[in-house]
């Protein structure tokens, strides 16, 4: 195996593409077109919210919390893509549905489709199962679990502000790349409120089995939640001093490698 082939084992990035003269090979071109089609599908399709809610009912019942489905002010997929501002605000009827649950909570978890239905369909429920298992070990009070259609990250601020939650945790389908259409993004904000901007949030990106593994993403999420509550801040004011992920990832790859053998 050449050194280049060895490097290819560790990334989905397009490196060392086969060429014929000045052009890439037909095989590489077809693969590029396939990945481009997958990325478009991830953006244009809708998650199966009904199935996801059914799958999470057991989780929410176990924790004694409600499971709510809300909408942003967006009225169509096309409008969602053209008007990001509407995706950051709650539809009036959804706001009314949320207000009866207004109380004092430590944590509000908001799951939003964002720009990847594939990420939501494939990785949201497994992530929530791992996250709730860790939350169970704490004394955190949880707001109702919210699912939101056609939303942007900032939609979580309005939702968590109405609920009076100390921390808003947004789990959203990330904008797909040409090698990964199934990534979740995790955004954490202390004292969420309308008008917050991106510097007030901590972000964990590329959460998927072939990116940042779900168990490590949950570990990072719990670390940031604890630090947020202890230091009463988030975003650029909160320094991430969690031990290096690289060592953990190396151990994960070693374990997976041994399992494959």
Please state the residue numbers annotated as binding site.
Answer: 153, 174, 203
Annotated binding site for adenosylcob(III)alamin: 153, 174, 203
Sorted by sequence, the CB contacts under 8 Å of residue 168 that are 6+ apart come out as 108, 110, 156, 157, 159, 160, 187, 188, 189, 192
Rounded Cα distance, 237 and 55, in Å: 36
In 3D space, the residue among 191, 159, 147, 167 whose CA is nearest the CA of residue 88 turns out to be: 159
Residues 202/238, Cβ–Cβ less than 8 Å: yes
Q: HEC string of the chain? A: CCHHHHHHCCCCCCCCCCEECCEECHHHHHHHHHHHHHHHHHHHCCCCHHHHHHHHHHHHHHCCCCEEEEEECCCCHHHHHHCCCHHHCECHHHHHHHHHHCCCEEEEEEEECCCCHHHHHHHHHHHHHHHHHHHCCCCCCECCEEEEECCCCCHHHHHHHHHCEEEEEEEEECCCCCCCCCCEEEEEEECCCCCCCHHHEEEEEEECCCCECHHHHHHHHHHHHHHHHHHCCCHHHCCCCCCCHHHHHHHHHHHHHHHHC
């Amino acid at each position: 195996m050449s050194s280049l082939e060895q490097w290819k084992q560790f990334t989905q990035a397009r490196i060392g593409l086969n060429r014929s003269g000045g052009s890439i090979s037909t095989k590489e071109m077809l693969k590029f077109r396939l990945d481009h089609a997958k990325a478009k599908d991830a953006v244009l399709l809708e998650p199966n919210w009904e199935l996801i809610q059914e799958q999470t009912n057991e989780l929410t019942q176990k924790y004694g919390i409600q499971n709510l489905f809300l909408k942003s002010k967006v009225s169509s997929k096309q409008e969602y893509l053209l008007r990001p501002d509407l995706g950051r605000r709650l539809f009036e009827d959804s706001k009314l549905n949320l207000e009866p649950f207004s109380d004092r909570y430590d944590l509000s978890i908001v799951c939003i489709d964002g720009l990847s239905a594939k990420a939501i369909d494939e990785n949201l429920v497994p992530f929530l199962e791992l996250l709730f298992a860790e939350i169970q070990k704490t004394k955190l009070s949880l707001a109702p679990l919210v699912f939101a259609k056609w939303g942007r990250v900032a939609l979580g601020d309005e939702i968590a502000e109405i609920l009076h939650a100390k921390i808003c945790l947004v789990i959203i389908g990330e904008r797909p790349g040409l090698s990964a259409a199934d990534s979740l993004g995790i955004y954490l904000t202390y004292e969420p409120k309308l008008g917050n901007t991106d510097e007030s949030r901590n972000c964990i990106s590329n959460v998927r089995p072939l990116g940042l593994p779900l168990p490590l993403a949950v570990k990072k999420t719990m670390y940031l939640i604890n630090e947020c509550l202890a230091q009463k801040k988030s975003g650029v004011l909160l320094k991430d001093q969690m031990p290096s992920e690289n060592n953990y990832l190396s151990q994960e790859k070693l374990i997976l490698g041994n399992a494959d053998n």
